[in-house]
Amino acid sequence: MQNQQQNLNMQNSTQMPAQQSHGGHELFDSHEAISGLIGGMEQGLLYEQHIQDPELKTMMQQHKTYLTQLYNTIVETLKTGQEPQVKTQTYNMASDNNVTYGMQPSQPKTPAQSVNELNDQCISSFMMANLKSCASSFTMTSLEATNPVLRRVFADSIPNLIEMAYEIFLYQNKHQYYQVPQLKQEDMQIYMNSFAPVQGGTMPH
C-alpha cells in the first residue's frame, strides 16, 4: 500500500509539462553554469578596453558573439525543455595548430599593482580561466541533467569551449606567454610506449 502511494506521488516525465521536466540537481547546476557564463561575458566587457593587440581583440569579439548565442540557446532550452530555435553552433577557430615547444628565459612575473599594468598576457589568461571554468561546470551539469535536450545542449557546448580555450592557448604560446617544455627524446619515447593494447579487445561488429 505504501509503495502504491509513493508511485502515485511520483510524476512520470510524460505527465509533466515540458518546461517542468527538470530534476533538482540539474536546475542547481544549470543555474551555476549559466551564472558562470554570464560572469565570463561581463568580465570581457572590462578586459576589452585594455587589449592592445588587434588579433586578441578580434578573438574576444568572436568569442563574445558565440557565447551570446550559446547563452540564448541554453536559456531557451531551460525555460521550455524543448529543442531550441537555434541549436548549438560549432565554433571554428581562425588559428592554425602550430605549437612552439621549448622554454625561453623570461622575466619573473609579479601581480599587477594597477589597472594600467594589465596587458595582453594578463587578459588572455583571464579569458582562458573563464573558459576552463565554464567547460568544467558545463560538464558537471550535463552529467546531472535529466532533461535530454538540456543535457545535450550543455554536452555539445563543451567541445566548443575547449576549442576557444585552445585558440587562446595557441595565441599565448605564439607570444611566449605560455611556454611548453618537452622531455628528452628518450624519456618521451618511454612514456609514449608505456602502454600496449589489449589483445582481442576490438568491439564486435
Q: Would the pLDDT of 8 be above 70?
A: no
In a domain, 102, yes or no: no
**Full-model pTM:** 0.85
Whole-number Cα distances in Å, 131 to 70, 74, 103, 169, 201: 13, 16, 25, 11, 36
Which of 159, 18, 26, 181 is closest to 84 using CA atoms?
18
Q: Report the mean per-residue pLDDT for the chain.
A: 89
Q: Which domain holds residue 79?
A: 22-94+118-192
Average pLDDT, integer, range 29-33: 96
Average pLDDT, integer, range 101-126: 92
Q: Would the pLDDT of 109 be above 70?
A: yes
In a domain, 200, yes or no: no
Min mean pLDDT across 19-23, 28-32, 42-46, 69-73 is at: 19-23
Q: How many CB atoms lie within 10 A of CB 183?
A: 11
Q: Would the pLDDT of 147 be above 70?
A: yes
Backbone angles phi, psi at 138, to 5 degrees: -65, -40
Q: What is the pLDDT of residue 106?
A: 85
In a domain, 69, yes or no: yes
Q: What is the pLDDT of residue 18?
A: 52
Q: Residue 51: which CATH number?
A: 1.20.1260.10
User: What total of structural domains would you count in the chain?
Assistant: 1
User: Residues 160, 62: contact at Cβ < 8 Å?
Assistant: no
Task: For residue 190, list its beta bridge partners.
Answer: none
Q: What is the pLDDT of residue 19?
A: 53
Q: What is the pLDDT of residue 28?
A: 94
Model pLDDT for residues 73-99, shown as the tens digit of each residue: 999 999 998 999 989 999 998 878 899
Backbone angles phi, psi at 124, to 5 degrees: -65, -30
Q: What is the pLDDT of residue 10?
A: 47
Q: How many CB atoms lie within 10 A of CB 58?
A: 12
In a domain, 107, yes or no: no
In a domain, 122, yes or no: yes
Read off the pLDDT band of 13 (50, 70, 90).
Answer: very low
Separation of alpha carbons 26 and 5, rounded Å: 26
